Amino acid sequence: MPDKIVKMGRASNGQRPVMIAIAGDSAAGKTTLTQGLVDALGSERVTAVCVDDYHRYDREERKTLPFTALHPDCNFVQIMEQHLQMLATGQPILKPVYDHSTGSLVRPELVEPKEFIIVEGLLPLSTKLARACFDVTVYLDPIEEIRREWKIARDTKKRGYDRAQVEAELDKRVPESEEFIHPQRTFADIVVRFAPIPGRNDPPETPLSAELLLRPTVRHPDLSEVFKVVDGRAMHLKLRRDEDGRPTDALHVHGYAPSADVEVLEKAIWADMSGEDTVPTGLGMLGGDVRNEPLAVTQLLLLYHLLEAAR
Amino acid sequence: MPDKIVKMGRASNGQRPVMIAIAGDSAAGKTTLTQGLVDALGSERVTAVCVDDYHRYDREERKTLPFTALHPDCNFVQIMEQHLQMLATGQPILKPVYDHSTGSLVRPELVEPKEFIIVEGLLPLSTKLARACFDVTVYLDPIEEIRREWKIARDTKKRGYDRAQVEAELDKRVPESEEFIHPQRTFADIVVRFAPIPGRNDPPETPLSAELLLRPTVRHPDLSEVFKVVDGRAMHLKLRRDEDGRPTDALHVHGYAPSADVEVLEKAIWADMSGEDTVPTGLGMLGGDVRNEPLAVTQLLLLYHLLEAAR
């Protein structure tokens, strides 16, 4: 059965799997972004791997250690590199499993590479060998205020912590987040920032906007035709410098634009990128029935890169 | 810390680790043989790996399956091959762990290759890729009556079974033992059989004798000088055909010979093989203070092969 899956993945594109990295701090939105890509491509074509499973210590052991789970010394980084190389060359791995609900390291699981491999986690871009495995790399960089809200909401609902515990953990992690997580931003082809638009006083229920830095480290789709037919209220593209001075395109997708407008826009982008009329389903979902259009546009762009790399 | 160990291992011989396989059925004596080699070489130079940790199912799951733990389908054989290749090329692995006392698959552990790697288990010689990793290969082939006694003694003392359960399990395993375990005998450079000497009526407390088939698939030490100084009571070498007709040397080490005689013999063998006067300590131990001289001679020969391959 495992062999069959490997062969399916290989047969369908006749080459090695396509790999994307989605890096970012805890609760930056990695799993949500990943889920839309899996739904759009179909789980039979996608292997999703969370590299936070490579924790070296369980939650109990970490209590006595001078660093948090963000620190490379707290993870089997060399084994992560080895397993990413295995997957990139089409080989299965026996992946460790960290149970977030209990904080324990448990029985490992067999992971077979399919046609596409999505690798998300805290440190997938932390070493050169790991980075060399990916066709396209993403760093999720929501503004800190938003990420704290997201982490508090998730860890109190799903991981059994109370609000004060999560806030204490967030504070404790600041130095290691700055030292080990944030530097991965520089290695991403695409940096995604979810935030309200500065300077506007949108009501709090307004969906968040997204700013996507499309760096010239990979070839992005040509959106010039799209911008001829949509107006700048929903989305616009600006040439600018990144915080380190490097030239980049910045694509702004506005959360306050009417959904109907953004859907027209998504169709135009997808048709232009793929030549197909029907936008994949499952994009932009935040959980339940809530949809965020800037997230959907982000996922569309990533789908473009995955499908391009598979050609 | 892990990097340091790898470098130590590499620095000391300037090459890839030396690997030996010790294959054999359950309770054939693999761990006892391994322990003497680890003690003689020093645990800082040896990595010992049990490939029975690559069980695909835990004890509870196996109850509902149509095969026993001996069946290749009951093991992650492809992952075992991958990990053996990693170790053979000096890379660490995150090895699965099967807890024999509870029958559960638990948290995996980091294994670093040192100068010597001893791989023991049910199936280390079951595939061509796995066999390609070894410098020397051993198959433990005690007569079935002895192995059953050993398994009953161990599993009732250390693994929480009663005698009837172990006997039932032994009977259930016969077809898969014949189909998957025994065929590995043909791929071993050395086949070790512990047994009483047929045709002699030694009292039951007489230590078991060993017959070692030294096949011409590797270069064995030249024992001709040794045989000039020891008499044939303790040990003799015969040219014969194996059960499949292939030519082999058969070294017989007699359990009934006086310990003092065999110790003289061990010194002579070791001096001849290694040029050193002092026989390594820790050989021949059966647990507690019980020593078996034929086991010590077997381990001496394996040490010779390990040290030769490391030159």
Same domain, B16 and B108: yes
Give the Cα separation of B63 and B24 in Å (integer).
Answer: 23
Where does a domain end: B138, B172, B207? B138
**Within-domain flag for B148:** no
pLDDT at B281: 84
Same domain, B104 and B213: no
Among residues B74, B152, B85, B151, the alpha carbon closest in space to that of B119 is found at: B85
Nearest CB to A94; choose among B79, B91, B110: B79
A260 or A62, higher pLDDT: A62
Q: Which of A255-264, B64-73, B158-167, B294-303 has the lowest mean pLDDT?
A: A255-264
- pLDDT band of residue B6 (cuts 50, 70, 90) is very low
Say which amino acid occupies A7: K
Give the residue from A3, A6, A75, A79 with the most B CB atoms within 10 Å of its CB, the best one to mutate. A79
Question: Distance, in angstroms, between A92 CA and closest chain B CA?
Answer: 8
Task: Work out the percent of chain B whose per-residue pLDDT is above 70.
Answer: 95
**Within-domain flag for B221:** yes
**Tens digit of each residue's pLDDT (9 = 90 or more) over B197-240:** 888 888 888 889 999 999 999 999 888 878 877 777 778 899 99
Cβ of A2 within 8 Å of Cβ of B105? The answer is no
| CATH for B13 | 3.40.50.300
Nearest CB to A92; choose among B79, B106, B108: B79
**Within-domain flag for B308:** yes
**Within-domain flag for B160:** no
**What are the phi and psi torsion angles at A65 (to 5°)?**
-105, 155
B288 or A58, higher pLDDT: A58
**Tens digit of each residue's pLDDT (9 = 90 or more) over A259-280:** 777 787 788 888 877 888 788 8
Q: Give yes or no for residue A6 having a pLDDT over 50.
A: no
Same domain, B213 and B134: no
pLDDT at A299: 95
Same domain, B202 and B287: yes
A106 or A201, higher pLDDT: A106
- pLDDT band of residue B13 (cuts 50, 70, 90) is very low
First to last CA, chain B: 26
**What are the phi and psi torsion angles at A162 (to 5°)?**
-100, 170
Q: Give yes or no for residue A3 having a pLDDT over 60.
A: no
Same domain, B40 and B109: yes
Same domain, B126 and B27: yes
- pLDDT band of residue B14 (cuts 50, 70, 90) is low
For residue A107, the chain B residue with the least C-alpha distance is B106
Where does a domain end: B108, B138, B168? B138
Q: What angle do CA A70, A195, A136 make, to 5 degrees?
A: 60
- pLDDT band of residue B265 (cuts 50, 70, 90) is confident
**Within-domain flag for B181:** no
Same domain, B83 and B214: no
For residue B99, the chain A residue with the least C-alpha distance is A107
**Tens digit of each residue's pLDDT (9 = 90 or more) over B23-73:** 999 999 999 999 999 999 999 999 999 999 999 999 999 999 999 999 999
Question: Distance, in angstroms, between A60 CA and closest chain B CA?
Answer: 14
Same domain, B99 and B194: no
Provide the residue count of chain A. 311
Same domain, B18 and B124: yes
Mean pLDDT (chain B) is: 90
Same domain, B11 and B78: yes
Prediction ipTM score: 0.86
**Within-domain flag for B180:** no
Domain that holds residue B122: 1-138
What is the domain count for chain B?
2
- pLDDT band of residue B177 (cuts 50, 70, 90) is very high
Q: Give yes or no for residue B308 having a pLDDT over 60.
A: yes
The tokens 């043909």 sit on which residue?
B186
Q: Give yes or no for residue A106 having a pLDDT over 80.
A: yes
Question: For residue A127, which residues of chain B lie inside 8 Å, CB to CB?
Answer: none
Burial (Cβ within 10 Å: 0-12, 13-18, ≥19) of residue A74: buried
**Tens digit of each residue's pLDDT (9 = 90 or more) over B75-89:** 999 999 999 999 999
pLDDT at A27: 95
Cβ of A79 within 8 Å of Cβ of B94? The answer is yes
Give the number of A-B residue pairs with CB atoms closer than 8 Å.
46
| Average pLDDT over every residue of A222-243 | 83
Give the Cα separation of A173 and A183 in Å (integer).
Answer: 15
CB B87 within 8 A of CB B17: yes
Same domain, B4 and B132: yes
Among residues B298, B251, B248, B303, the alpha carbon closest in space to that of B273 is found at: B303
Where helices occur in chain B by DSSP H, the ranges are 2-13, 30-41, 59-62, 77-88, 128-131, 144-158, 163-176, 224-229, 259-274, 293-310
Same domain, B17 and B91: yes
**Within-domain flag for B78:** yes
pLDDT at A274: 80
In sequence order, what are the residues at sequence separation of 6 or more whose Cβ sits closer than 8 angstroms to the Cβ of residue B247?
B216, B239, B240, B241
A28 φψ region: left (φ > 0), alpha (ψ -120 to 50), beta (else): alpha
**Within-domain flag for B60:** yes
DSSP label at residue A179: I
**Tens digit of each residue's pLDDT (9 = 90 or more) over A181-224:** 999 999 999 999 999 888 888 888 888 999 999 999 999 988 88
pLDDT at A14: 52
| Average pLDDT over every residue of B300-304 | 94
Instruction: Evaluate the CA torsion angle A208, A213, A219, A224 in order and state its sign.
Output: positive
